[in-house]
Amino acid sequence: MAAPTTSAAPPPWPRYSLLSIVVPAFDEGRTIGQLLGRLGALKLAIPHEVVVVDDGSTDDTAAVVDRCLVRLQGQVAARMIRQANGGKGCAVRTGIEASAGDLVVVQDADLEYDPADLDVVLAPLLAGKSRAVYGSRILGPSRRGAAVFYLGGRLVTACTNILYGSDLTDEPTCYKMVDGALLRSLSLEAKGFELCPELTAKLLKRGETILEVPIRYAPRGVADGKKIRARDGVRAIYELLRWRL
């Protein structure tokens, strides 16, 4: 009598079904149209939506987004929320609250980060390896950018690792892709750039494993519209200390 056959274990299947890409924007009229074009053409392993939050722009950002939304119809679910200027953290929190995805990531509107790399960030989440994955500029092949920004980011990362026992290489990265339910449960409070260290601190305090994958980076300078400053690095370290203590 033949031995009974056993079926092979089913392959891992993604439990995530929608990625929400939150785009905070303040006076990014020069670049946001190109970015939205890339996001509309983006092909990922799961569907994605785009939530643009215009944080009180004084240039033509909103008008550019409106035109892009018309062109994006049929390509990707996309919408814009307009609000008074409150800071990047406020814009990101608004986008998270309005998002529908069971995965969420922030995409800056300035083209420093290439949306094509989102597929690389997404892969470990779909494989069930972690509920939080960061795209690391340090692990990637790109140039460093201005010394003040590079060294500041390294300092913030080192403080994170010392305070929380982590081994991150790039804490201040924009590409932080997180399980949507987990992210919404963190009750984020920050109004400015300090939202990044607050998010990291709360994930690590929850005992979450943050995986990192290499991404590309095209740094811009203050003359090109970069808004973060040295004082934001000081605030980031303060935020890390505040949530640790």
pLDDT of residue 211: 98
- For 83, the 3-state DSSP assignment is strand
pTM to 2 decimal places:
0.90
Sign of the C-alpha dihedral computed for residues 29, 226, 121 and 130 taken in this order: negative
> Is residue 208 within 8 Å of residue 181, measured between CB atoms?
no
* Phi, psi of 25, deg, nearest 5: -140, 130
What are the residue ranges spanned by the domains of the chain?
19-244
Burial class of 228 by CB neighbour count within 10 A (0 to 12, 13 to 18, 19+): middle
CA–CA separation, 38 and 98 (whole Å): 22
β partners of residue 95: none
- Based on the number of CB atoms within 10 Å of its own CB, is 7 exposed (0-12), middle (13-18) or buried (19 or more)? exposed
18-68 tens-digit pLDDT:
999 999 999 999 999 999 999 999 999 999 999 999 999 999 999 999 999
Query: CA–CA separation, 200 vs 195, rounded Å?
Result: 9
**Integer Cα distance of 202 and 212 in angstroms:** 17
Is the pLDDT score of 197 beyond 80? Answer: yes
How is domain 19-244 classified at the architecture level of CATH?
Alpha-Beta Complex (3.90)
pLDDT in tens, 150-190: 888 999 999 999 999 999 999 999 999 999 999 999 999 99
